[in-house]
Amino acid sequence: MNRRFVVIVLDGFGMQAMKDAKETRPGDEVSSTLGSILHDFPDLKLPNLERLGLMNAFGIESKCMKFSKDAVFGKSELMHFGADTFMGHQEIMGSLPKKPIPQCFSNHAEEVAKHLIEHGHKVEYKGNEKLKYLLVDNYCTVADNIDSDLGMAVNCTAPLDFMSFEDELKIGRLVREIVTTNRVIVFGGTGNTVEDILNAEEVRENKYIGLLAARTKSYDQGYQCLHLGYGVDASVQAPTILTNAGYKVSLFGKVADIVHNEGGKSDSWVDRAEVLDLTIQEIKSMNEGFICTNVQETDLAGHSQDSKRYKEILEIADGEIGKICNLLGEEDILVVMADHGNDPNIGHNKHTRENVPLLVQTGDAHSINLGLRKTLSDVGATVCDYFDVSKPQNGTSFLNEIKQFKKFS
């Protein structure tokens, strides 16, 4: 008998603005990713998501998609601050989000430098008279992330021909001990030099100074990356708990870059067809275990403010999700969800704070409304409950709401 729990995250596929959106992210109170796509393409048909209860979760039928009478569905709020892919996935895996404090790195450069020096590192100041960032051990820069929401991340960037990723990561962990931003992103590539990185320096809003990631040439070859979250403890997340209990854990797509999975399988892909094909192949080969896949191209379409592209990606993903549904047996569970919104018609290219769908397929369960969940962590809690292992840090399992399972030991 197969025992598999599969989670598909359609990155940025929100439903409607959360009730706190106006207060926490002014402007997002009018957001609706699905609503915008249906407005532009009222004839959109996603038969597999429709069967799973997409319109039930949305609360309104469209011209071509109706409520599903047999669906097991709900939706979830975001407990993490803002609307973030990294923290959204930490939350899905069962972390209790800790509210970050946005920072201009220049204001804390001296404190970080002192901490690094105390741990035996050489530190130089870079930048200008007003704004500073660091060059550590001749090769690793520590500066504001200026590629996303300003003040929410610090980047550690190094040319990996000259500094190993392991040594760069040690620097990143020390930086993480001091700064309170949402993320410290440690990354680098091969084939570039520290001069390439320093030449990518730019200033934003006269208070953030960093290196534009694409211009550092880090992505060109040999790219490695690890995100260090604020207050994130991997030991109390579903993947670590399951691995320690002897279960297989496979992460595909963006989730493989941002969720700790030591001892499991992690393959990072962007292309939705390839990442979903990897998922299908893994389901065919796995008898027992947990699979989580992130479809990133939906989010990229939102960032591009391209509802047509978003629609096309959803149509392709829907077809692949149908194949996945057909591979799963009576005791398997499939959850299709999102990590935040990314409304392509909102008027900016940032994420939007929206409730997200929670669509479930399992055995003979049908016609169940899971309601509005308070946290994405309910999914991680349900995963752990399904395999009868320790609970993650956060979340409430909905396993008993969807099926009277025998728990597996």
- Is residue 218 located within the same domain as residue 280? no
Residues 85 and 182 in one domain: no
Q: 11, 295 in Cβ contact below 8 A?
A: yes
What is the total count of domains within the chain?
A: 2
Residues 75 and 151 occupy one common structural domain: no
Residue 407 domain flag: no
**Does 408 reside within a domain?**
no
Domain boundary among 192, 214, 229: 229
Residue 404 has a pLDDT of 57
In this predicted structure, what is the pLDDT of residue 270? 64
Of 178, 196, 229, which closes a domain? Answer: 229
Same domain for 378 and 272, yes or no, is yes
Is there a contact between 264 and 311 (Cβ–Cβ < 8 Å)?
A: no
- Going 208 to 210 to 215 to 220, the CA torsion angle's sign is negative
Q: How far apart are CA 236 and CA 232, in angstroms?
A: 9
Residue with tokens 């997340």: 237
Do 365 and 268 have their domain in common?
Answer: yes
pLDDT-flagged residues of the chain (< 50): 405-409
90 and 202 fall within a common domain: no
Domain coverage including residue 267:
3-98+233-402
Dist. CA 362–CA 331, nearest whole Å: 7
In-domain check, residue 409: no
**According to DSSP H, which parts of 20-95 are helical?**
21-24, 33-40, 47-52, 54-58, 85-92
Last residue of a domain, one of 208, 229, 250: 229
pLDDT of residue 397: 98
Chain mean pLDDT for the chain: 94
Give the pLDDT score at 64: 97
Find, among 186, 253, 306, 206, the residue nearest to 9 by Cα: 253
**DSSP bridge pairs for 359:** 73, 336
296 vs 316: CA distance, rounded Å? 13
Q: What is the pTM of this model?
A: 0.86
Please, are residues 196 and 217 in contact by the beta-carbon 8 Å criterion? yes
What amino acid occupies position 173?
R
Determine the Cα angle at 392 with ends 299 and 180, to 5°.
60
